[in-house]
Homo-oligomer: A and B are copies of this chain.
Amino acid sequence: MFNLENYHLKSSSFSDALSSKELSYFKEKAERIEFKKKHILFKEGSFSKGVYIVRKGKIKIYKSNPNGAESIVYIYKKGDYFGYRPLLAEDPNPVSAAAIDNTVVSYLPKEAFLSLFNRSDTLAKKIVITLSQEFSVWINKMTVFTQFSVKERIALSLLILSKVYQNNAEKKVIISINRDDFASFVGTAKESLVRNLRHFKDEKIISTQGTKIVVMKPDQLHAYLL
């Protein structure tokens, strides 16, 4: 049985893991930063100096290969936090991060994060559990690339991006992403992506508004995934 939750992380708020005392420490130490569209937050191989919490806009996490092609590993939205894993592991960032839109983040410097991590046993345990859950999603995503065709991966990606771009207020989801980024997310060529989008348009499953994509019949996308 196909279940979208197996392929996309549930958003879980960073501050939920904190006691009210810890939360006020967090608020004291965190800094608000704005990034313009296309701004690169950090690059693969660099060392994290803090944790980001998205307040507004979308941030893509990606890997570049030596030919210049990039593959997008995840897209974070409002409320999501990231950048803490390499910091805990004391490893360099395995990925780069860049703003898709104009974005606003809260930035918690490394020292403050580690101080919270070390003083709070509940945070460590909460993170273990979160990481364990995330693992399932990553394993599933990995098998998608080996077992699904491009058309299937695009159908799945439309559903995932519907979640990412969903605005609680609105029922209709408008996915605002350029074709290169979408193709990098699916792991295919831009032209192959466009051809498949055309197919879904002909089937009246999606429509476009300018370069934006409107998902009209998500149920019919499910049908492509068994």
Contacts and interface: CB of A to CB of B under 8 A. Distances in A.
Interface string A102-133: 00000000000000000001001101110111
A72 to B, nearest CB: 9
Given A85-B132, A131-B135, A142 B142 contact: yes
B85 A135 contact: yes
A134 B89 CA distance: 9
Given A66-B226, A139-B73, A139-B95, A131 B133 contact: no
A138 interface: yes
A141 interface: yes
A208 to B, nearest CB: 25
Interface stretch (A143-151, A169-177, A198-206): A143-151
A86 interface: yes
Q: Which of A69, A129, A147 has the most CB of B within 10 A?
A: A147
A79 interface: no
Interface in A31-61: none
A25 B17 CA distance: 30
A99 B196 CA distance: 40
Contacts of A139: 63, 73, 94-95, 138
A147 B65 CA distance: 8
A191 interface: no
Contacts of A88: 128-129, 132
9 pairs of A and B residues whose beta carbons are closest in the complex: A146-B187, A89-B132, A145-B145, A94-B136, A85-B132, A131-B131, A89-B133, A88-B132, A71-B146
Interface of A: 6, 63, 65-66, 69, 71, 73, 84-86, 88-91, 94-95, 121, 124-125, 127-129, 131-136, 138-143, 145-147, 187, 226
